[in-house]
Structure 1
Amino acid sequence: MQAQTTISDQKLTGDIKKDLTRLLPIGAVKADIIDGVRQNPRQMELAKKLQSSIAQNYEWFVDYMKAVPQGEKIPYHAKLGLTKEEYMELINFMDNIEMVSTGKENIAIQIKNDMIYFKSQNKLSKLDSLTIDLKNNMVSFGKIKMPFADKLNITTDKNALKSKWEGYSWILEEPKDVDANAMKDLNSLKMRQYKFTIGKLEKTGKTYMSLKGREIENGTKTIDFELPVQF
């Protein structure tokens, strides 16, 4: 008998329009809301110490981060509030962090005139304001327009999803590159960041989708949410 190839077995094609219609099947899907993190008490203790120290040495931390290439781990420093052994222990925890489901919710997906629409409720009700314009390769959240940013190819399973995966992202970031000096003066900081990510997990064949939004006005967060799901 020759095995049939299902959608979950197929790799993404690189054709964004085709891939999105595969990743987002028309109809209702039951999605896991994966906004929980598997943690143990020791990990929580070390993370709390680190966060407290960063808060107390915020200006130093901003300067220190300038020298760290994007995507690389922060090198150890005593001002991080941990011993070197504790810091390496926390890094090891972070390398093995795992996102877990905190519940399930139905998402209805509709495609009409090259537009993808979503309908959900409760925790995922914000998805009602999300649309994907397949023709113009643009994602909108209400009046927020997120242009296409990048194709993603995660080649290791050492990540919070515990799987290799590939997909796409759309991002709005204003201002585009926040200067480290601007981060020092939090009282006058004004910025907004929105990001939509979608991809396919190699291990399970499931769709991973995430919508994030954050706005800061005069140093105060006025909007801050993240909705990661998989189905």
Structure 2
Amino acid sequence: MVFFCSCTQAQTTSSDQKLTGDIKNDLISLLPSGTVQADIIDSVRQNPRQMELTKKLQSSIAQNYEWFVDYMKAVPPGEKMPYHVKLGLTKEEYTELLGFMNNIEMVSTGTENISVQIKNDVIYFKSQNKLSKLDSLTIDLKNNMVSFGQIKIPFADKLNITSDKNVLKSKWMGYSWILEEPNDLDANALKDLNSLKMRQYKFTIGKLEKSGKTYMSLKGREIENGAKTIDFELPIQF
């Protein structure tokens, strides 16, 4: 179940340019050298009723976890989960919650400056505080590889979001890089949480059609013997 800021002259210029499909050139357009002030959009706007229904759903899933894992197997990718009484809500409440989820909007919790440098076909970042993890992020333009420290995150897909009914409230185009280990993790493995070992990293970047701004997100999660050892998400917009 993710955004605003003041921009430099370079960002104003790049906002008028559309993505071309050439990943290297598009990344340079989205991330021109210089310093930007980015909004950290890591909070969701919810009303009390939405929070109440979400809490009931989460509680029921926790109590019926193995059933939930099996139930999700039958849901096609990208499809909404159909109603079931074990979700802990009435059918009317579930319909109401889906309505809220269709209108989720991420909001800014603050801003930070980010320095972007391009050197020898590699993009480097420098920031601080909540965005200090970006210091470990690099993008190899020549080999189309994102790195987070020693972790290599390979290119995954081009993105073309054709509806504005999403948390960004805009149509947008961009790219994603994803690392998932093991890459053949199935639903049955999720049942035995005590022995679960996995790591997932994802980098996403794109241009919002409505504002012309750059959206960027870095996510990381590692689980060792069922316990989260790393879990972060850094969605920003500038």
Shorter-normalised TM range = over 0.9
State the partner residue of 1:16.
23
| Number of positions where the alignment pairs a residue of Structure 1 with one of Structure 2 | 227
Corresponding letter in the other structure for 1:208: Y
Corresponding letter in the other structure for 1:80: L
State the partner residue of 1:202.
209
State the partner residue of 1:139.
146
Corresponding letter in the other structure for 1:225: F
User: The residue matched to 2:49 in structure 1 has which SS?
Assistant: helix
User: The residue matched to 2:79 in structure 1 has which SS?
Assistant: coil
> Which segments of 5 or more consecutive residues in structure 1 lack a partner in the other structure?
none
Q: What is the rounded CA distance, in whole Å, between the counterparts of 2:143 and 2:72 in structure 1? A: 36
State the partner residue of 2:49.
42
User: The residue matched to 1:181 in structure 2 has which SS?
Assistant: helix
> Which segments of 5 or more consecutive residues in structure 2 lack a partner in the other structure?
1-11
Q: What is the rounded CA distance, in whole Å, between the counterparts of 1:113 and 1:8 in structure 2? A: 24
User: The residue matched to 2:169 in structure 1 has which SS?
Assistant: coil
State the partner residue of 2:174.
167
Q: What is the rounded CA distance, in whole Å, between the counterparts of 2:93 and 2:25 in structure 1? A: 47
Instruction: After TM superposition, give the deviation of residue 6 of structure 1 in Å.
Output: 4.2
TM-score by length of 2: 0.94
Alpha-carbon RMSD across the aligned residues, in angstroms, is 0.9
State the partner residue of 1:223.
230
Percentage of matched positions with identical amino acids: 86
Instruction: After TM superposition, give the deviation of residue 7 of structure 1 in Å.
Output: 2.5
State the partner residue of 1:86.
93
Of 175, 187, 209, which residue of structure 2 is paired with 1:180?
187
Corresponding letter in the other structure for 1:135: K
Q: Please show how residues 96-115 of structure 1 align to structure 2 within 5 Å.
A: 96-115=103-122
TM-score by length of 1: 0.97
User: The residue matched to 2:147 in structure 1 has which SS?
Assistant: strand
Corresponding letter in the other structure for 1:189: L
Determine if the alignment matches structure 1 residue 128 to structure 2 residue 135: yes
User: The residue matched to 1:61 in structure 2 has which SS?
Assistant: helix
Of 151, 167, 180, which residue of structure 1 is paired with 2:158?
151
User: The residue matched to 2:15 in structure 1 has which SS?
Assistant: helix
Q: What is the rounded CA distance, in whole Å, between the counterparts of 1:141 and 1:7 in structure 2? A: 26
Q: Please show how residues 51-62 of structure 1 align to structure 2 within 5 Å.
A: 51-62=58-69
